[in-house]
Amino acid sequence: MATETPHDATIRHDMRPGDLGRVIEQHAELYAAEFGFDRRFEAYVAETLGEFGRLFRPHLDRLWLAERDGRLLGSIGVIGRDDNAAQIRWVLLDPAARGTGLGRRLLDTALAFCREADYTSIFLWTVEGLAASARLYVSAGFRKTETKPATVLWGATLCEERYDLAL
């Protein structure tokens, strides 16, 4: 049962020292506990957030953190890519915040930013088996456009899935 409500959380995008590390840590811990991902996943998230931190363009890129009383509840990010496309990254909610509408708030916030930035399309990659996330994406207008065959990735056998949304 969810213990948080979407109204309890604040969502911010003003990056502070330690924020990138907190997002990396949350991803590493939750995906290890829930799916058995290993240290390579943590390294992957660190690498992609490192790219975000190094190349940050405020008019094209953004990372939002959902917090309550200073505790990280979740995140979502956008990175500008080629052909006026945006990529959604680092979507994750603490289990206590799932089912509260906070994921929808984060996604809606990211989509609004993409529209304001005049992106013409948005895509994201995820893994098969995240049913609640897939329902959220589809309800926002995304459609699954690609599935990669199962491979061992981050210590688990996974099928990667791509979702796209035209704006």
- Summarised one tens digit per residue, pLDDT across range 124-150 is 999 988 889 999 999 999 999 999 987
Which residue type is seen at 15?
Answer: M
Mean pLDDT score, 46-62: 96
User: How confident is the model at residue 5, as a pLDDT?
Assistant: 53
pLDDT digits (tens, 9 = 90+) for 23-42: 999 999 999 999 899 999 99
CATH superfamily of 10-166: Gcn5-related N-acetyltransferase (GNAT) (3.40.630.30)
DSSP 32-61: HHHH---HHHHHHHHHHHHHHHHH--TTT-
How confident is residue 109, by pLDDT bands cut at 50, 70 and 90? Answer: very high
> Which pTM was predicted?
0.92
Is residue 164 within 8 Å of residue 143, measured between CB atoms?
yes
Is residue 90 within 8 Å of residue 49, measured between CB atoms?
yes
Q: Is the pLDDT of residue 1 over 50?
A: no
User: How confident is the model at residue 139, as a pLDDT?
Assistant: 97
Each domain of the chain, given as residue ranges in start order, spans 10-166
Q: Is the pLDDT of residue 56 over 50?
A: yes
Q: Is the pLDDT of residue 4 over 50?
A: no
Chain-centre distance for alpha carbon 45: 11
Q: Is 65 helix (H, G, I), strand (E, B) or coil?
A: strand
User: How confident is the model at residue 67, as a pLDDT?
Assistant: 97
Is residue 29 within 8 Å of residue 81, measured between CB atoms?
no
